[in-house]
Amino acid sequence: MCKMCKGKNNALVEKSGSSLNIDVTKIVKYVCIAGVMIVAIIFGTRCYLKMINKDKELD
């Protein structure tokens, strides 16, 4: 980042009185974990339903 851009950003933070820190790595980590959990739930329920249907066919 250039020196002029840094000066403008710091001036905006000083005027507002608060800083905003965004941790992108945490956001990406939790989005990935949520995606894995969603896929696991869908796959698990499909496997469970197939097992139930096979048990019914055997009876």
The confidence score (pLDDT) of residue 47 equals 96
Q: Which two tokens stand for residue 30?
A: 């939790």
Q: What are phi and psi of 55, to 5 degrees?
A: -65, -40
Determine the Cα–Cα distance for residues 15 and 27; give it in Å rounded to an integer: 27
Q: Which two tokens stand for residue 21?
A: 């820190």
Query: pLDDT by residue (tens digit) across 2-40?
Result: 555 655 555 555 566 677 788 999 999 999 999 999 999
Mean pLDDT of 46-55: 92
In the numeric block, the tokens 């698990």 are attached to 44
